[in-house]
Amino acid sequence: MQKKLWPAVALAATVSAAAHAEIPNLSLDFPPTPSTLNVFASAAAHRRAETLVNKMTLDEKLQLIHSEYQMSAVPGGGGGYIQGVPRLGIPDINMVDSATGSGSTVQPSTTFPATIAVAASWDRRLSSDFGKQIAIQLRQQGFAMGLGGGTNLAREPRGGRLFEYLGEDPVLAGEMLAWRTDGTQSQKVIATIKHYMGNEQEHNRNGGNSQIDERTMRELYLLPFEIAARRAQPGSVMCSYNRVNGTYACENSHILNDVLKNDWQFQGQVQSDWGAAQSTAPAINAGLDEEEDVGPTVYLTPDAVKQAIANGSVSTARLNDMVERKLYVMIRTGVMDDPPKGGATIDFAAANAFTQSVAEQSMVLLKNANNQLPLAGGSLSRIAVIGGHADAAVLTGGGSGNTRDPVTGSFAGCGGLTFGTETGCSWWTNPWLKLNVPIVSAIQALAPQAKVTFAGNSDQQSPFRAYTQQEISQAATLAANSDVAVVVVAQPAGEDIGDLTSLSLANPSNQDALVEAVAQANPHTIVVVESGNPVLMPWKDSVSAIVEAWYPGEAGGKAIADVLFGKVNPSGKLPVTFPVRDQDTPTWGTNGAFAADPVYSEKLDMGYRWYDSQNITPMFEFGYGLSYTHFAYSGLSVARLPGGLIDVSFNVRNDGRVAGAEVPQVYLGVPYQGEPPRRLVGWDKVGLNPGESRRVHVMVTPRMQSVWDTTNNRWQYVPGSRVYVGASSRDIRLQGGN
């Protein structure tokens, strides 16, 4: 269990700040994560990069700012390649997608749980370890740069790429991304954070114009990037395909130059998403440092940039800045002096064990009527496991956020499954992952004397087709003759698969009907959900327990069984709201049609803020999650310290009978027009034995109490916020302090 890492750093800063500061001290807002603490190394890296640039020819400089699309040709099967300059000791850079593990197309890699699962753990240390473990494999495969830091907010709950992001709250997403970035770069792998910005849907993703007012951008959609960029200094920020307020993100001087490089003092490089650059001089002058091209139209080729310099539309000083940024990042992360060589032996067993612990710590127990869970392995004689290919596989997310090649061998479509008739069956569009230990086997291992029987569409059948009436009846009959029924439902999504039309599991797969029929047949029905998005649960009241397992990765079968049988006490909390109906979500409008050019008209009322401000009761709110034990909160103290910090402290006690971990959350009601009733400003995750109590401190920085002042274009500190401490965004246990 993690300790209070951030508060500890913030407190240390307070001691020196306290003596001087009567006014909010904004330098307390973004304390560096451990691997970014060495500022002197940064200054030295800048000097060294500058010296190198001065020694380079024009052609050598141009070589460093443009990568060809060589997905399959890149050594190691990566997504992009920048050739180094051996005479100056500058190594090649191979980059690769890495949201849920290495995206190498030719090398075996571990499939980790989806990124949204990491967010659901609310565990900063786990997020750091996640970045670290993936980076270890990237280096072993020869990659110096991982593109896995996705953090667009879940404004659109149907968004196709939510599984590779970190939920709907900017502080949760930003913090988790900062720690992941720190873990990645601790292994001498350059971390990219993406997709900057306003890229919250897949619909019309190459041309959509996201229209977002400045205050909403600063307080919501830019904030996760700001937190990660300032705290952990990722080497690279990837600008996105869409336009932002009329201008393409990769040539948008406001978000790149004004905000990222000027306001946040970002020292790294801006790279385009693949094919997202739209011009040469305008993009370069707006802040784009490197193009990743997919052809046929490319803009930062050596010839194009040479011409721009010759005709004066791009200055040599700016070209030098682009190159220096790249070299600086390589030096500071250690890639320059110790480039990855590849070809190393990967410890797949250790990585598999790690993926299991991530899956276990991220699962969210949504319902547990009459303590249906945990199951007592010894007392069950007949267990039905139904649906979701639980006899063979788990679902993963599609597109570049997926891992291409599981350890089990070549990814010959559907993770090695034999869905013979399915067309286009691949990691990209149909991402079932065959497991060594699927859910059925893992359950059998924990209930050795029980007869475990599977029903539902099996390995031999098309993965996403609808259950037939006959299959549903067979499943119900099996459930009726069993002590307990575990139904697995799955919601596929991913890049290019597109946004979901609905959060419902009814169409086209008929999964709601399956759950209803099983629940009617057996009062002890447990639903396990594999999804990267919220799902609708019209059957919520008919079943006795529900576990959200996300896309749980290659050890997902064992992790799910461990949670069901209580070997692991669930401690995840939802990073996204689960609504009752599609119509309740902030982006549904009148008919759920996606806007080609989305207007973020709900402004700050996004995610749980929408439900709170509109008085809509969700199915399960942001921050919600049950445990096999219970936690009591008491003794709130709100201490306002010099410098504008608030030290919120309180007791959390495990007053149940088993050990468990709780995520106490601190929200603020900021007394300012347009602010939502509550916004998350901090949290901790504490592991407690039965009867054990802990005093938790959450430090609230001045920025967390501020709003974006559109008149003066700056942050404005707002005194007098009310403090709420809760077990979720709605389960408020303590409040006070204004």
Phi, psi angles (nearest 5°) of residue 625: 175, 135
Of 45, 147, 223, 686, which one interacts with ligand NOJ (CB under 6 A)?
Answer: 147
621/574 Cα distance (integer angstroms): 7
Element (H, E) at 485: strand 484-491
Does 273 bind ligand NOJ (CB under 6 A)? Our answer is: yes
Q: How far is the CB of 97 from ligand NOJ (least distance, A)?
A: 5
Closer CB to ligand NOJ, 153 or 661, in the complex: 153
Write out the binding residues for ligand NOJ, residues 86-105 only, by CB under 6 A: 97
Query: Within 142-169, where are the H helices?
Result: none
Cβ count near 96 (within 10 Å):
31
Residues with Cβ < 8 Å from 86, sequence gap 6 or more?
Answer: none
Kindly state the smallest distance separating residue 256's Cβ from ligand NOJ, in Å: 17
Q: Which is nearer to ligand NOJ, 74 or 489 (CB)?
A: 74
CA 236 – CA 268 distance, rounded (Å): 6
Site for ligand NOJ in 343-372 (CB under 6 A): none
For the stretch 152-183, what's the b/e string if a residue is b when 16 or more beta carbons lie within 10 angstroms of its beta carbon? bbbbbbbbbbbbbbbbbbbbbbbbbbbbbbbb
Residue carrying the six token digits 């996201």: 210
Distance CA(177)–CA(186), nearest Å, equals 14
- Least Å distance, CB 597 to ligand NOJ, is 19
Helix, strand, coil share (%) of the chain residues, nearest 5: 35, 20, 45
CB of 118 to ligand NOJ, least distance (A): 17
The token pair that represents 167 in the structure block = 């939920």
Cis status of the peptide bond prior to 197, with omega within 30 of 0: yes
Q: Is the CB of 274 or the CB of 594 nearer to ligand NOJ?
A: 274
Q: Which of 129, 169, 273, 499 is flagged as catalytic? A: 273
Report, in Å, the least distance between residue 514 CB and ligand NOJ.
33
What span, in angstroms and rounded, lies between the C-alpha atoms of 333 and 45? 10
User: What residues between 295 and 334 interact with ligand NOJ by CB under 6 A?
Assistant: none
- Select the residue whose beta carbon is closest to ligand NOJ and give its number: 400
**Closer by beta carbon to ligand NOJ, 102 or else 629:** 102
* Cβ-based nearer residue to ligand NOJ, 68 or 548: 68
Name which of 104 and 185 has its Cβ closer to ligand NOJ.
104
Least Å from the CB of residue 147 to ligand NOJ: 4
Q: How far is the CB of 694 from ligand NOJ (least distance, A)?
A: 39
Total residues contacting ligand NOJ (rule CB under 6 A)?
7
Residue number with CB closer to ligand NOJ (79 or 676) = 79
Contact between 274 and ligand NOJ (CB under 6 A)?
yes
Buried b (16+ CB within 10 A) or exposed e, 383-420: bbbbbbbbbbbbbbbbbbbbbbbbbbeebebbbbbebe
Q: Please answer whether residues 47 and 248 qualify as being in contact, where contact means their C-beta atoms are separated by less than 8 angstroms.
A: no
Q: Is 134 in the site for ligand NOJ (CB under 6 A)?
A: no
Q: What tokens were used for 454?
A: 């599977």
Rounded Cα–Cα distance for residues 457 and 17 (Å): 62
Residue at token pair 């330098």: 27
For the bound state, the minimum distance from the C-beta of residue 500 to ligand NOJ, rounded and expressed in Å, comes to 18
Residue 147 or 281: which CB sits closer to ligand NOJ? 147
Closer residue to ligand NOJ in complex, CB, 33/402: 402
- Binding ligand NOJ (rule: CB under 6 A), the pick from 194, 218, 367, 730 is 194
Minimum gap (Å) between residue 411 Cβ and ligand NOJ: 16
- Does position 79 interact with ligand NOJ (CB under 6 A)? The reply is yes
- Is 400 among the residues that bind ligand NOJ (CB under 6 A)? yes
Report which DSSP code applies to 221: I
> Residues 573, 364: contact at Cβ < 8 Å?
yes
- Residue 15: how many CB atoms within 10 A of its CB? 8
Catalytic site includes residue 584: no
> For residues 202 and 391, which CB has a smaller minimum distance to ligand NOJ in the complex?
202
**Least distance in Å: CB of 63 to ligand NOJ?**
20
Residues paired with 452 in a beta bridge: 383
User: Largest Cα–Cα distance in the chain?
Assistant: 81
DSSP 263-311: IS---SEEEE-TT----SHHHHHHT--BEE--SSS-SS-HHHHHHHHHT
Task: Check residue 290 for interaction with ligand NOJ (CB under 6 A).
Answer: no
Catalytic residue annotation: 273
What is the contact surface with ligand NOJ in residues (CB under 6 A)? 79, 97, 147, 194, 273-274, 400
